[in-house]
Structure 1
């Protein structure tokens, strides 16, 4: 449209519409009523096109959201992997410094599963220390 040459067309409008045109074209940062009318026509054509593509737009939104969710999933997977590595290191250090028999370890696992369920994953070191010291 930048290199296109403008053409003159006849335009018949009601006086009340012309009043609205005069009142609003400067508010839209248009240099002339003619520019305002052209912008209005282009806007309305875009609106009509979007009506034709109502099925297309939801697919674009879903595709965009899926891309964002995929990136989020990758980031979370990376963070969970790093946490798992740190936890594995902690478990090996704990196992190396404490002599725990298989039966005690099995009972502790059951106890921990129940505790995590009860606390909905909000386990705190302070609570474990209290339990181990017999305060609970």
Structure 2
């Protein structure tokens, strides 16, 4: 290794066709010698190999993080849905206890609510229900 340049002298075998193609591409590579060409080519290839490993690592890491985030979100939504279902059940029992509703009226109410929830895509609005019950809509 020379102290001035930090370069090491080495030898390797190369196919004649590859060497000829390199010689043709020297001007395009903007280098003056085979040594510079080989150094640039090796740097490029090492960078390519390193980026492939980094890309694979990042993709695996990103996939793991996204999977974990989705799983945590599903768990939070499930817990909130459970709490809402408990509160809705309590409300339904209180209303059923305090009101005398016959089976036919209950069936009609079920059909009306089913159609309404489909129409409004589940976005229930108390004010709209209040207006409906007061015959304002």
Larger Rg: 2
Same structural fold, with TM-score higher than 0.5 when normalized by the shorter chain? yes
Task: Please name the residue that 2:90 is paired with.
Answer: 89
Q: Deviations over 1:39-78 (max 9, x none)?
A: xxxxxx7885332353343122111110111111111111
Task: Please name the residue that 2:29 is paired with.
Answer: none
Task: Please name the residue that 1:131 is paired with.
Answer: 132
Consecutive unaligned residues in structure 1, runs of 5 or more: 1-8, 14-44
Q: How many residues align?
A: 98
What is the root-mean-square deviation of aligned Cα atoms in Å? 2.5
Q: Following superposition of structure 1 onto structure 2, how do residues 37-116 of structure 1 map, counting pairs within 5 Å?
A: 48-116=49-117
Q: TM-score with structure 2 length normalisation?
A: 0.62
Aligned-partner SS, 2:55: coil
Task: Please name the residue that 2:5 is paired with.
Answer: 12
CA distance in 2, matches of 1:46, 1:68: 32
Q: CA deviation at 1:88?
A: 0.4
Q: CA deviation at 1:110?
A: 0.6
Consecutive unaligned residues in structure 2, runs of 5 or more: 7-45
CA distance in 2, matches of 1:78, 1:53: 37
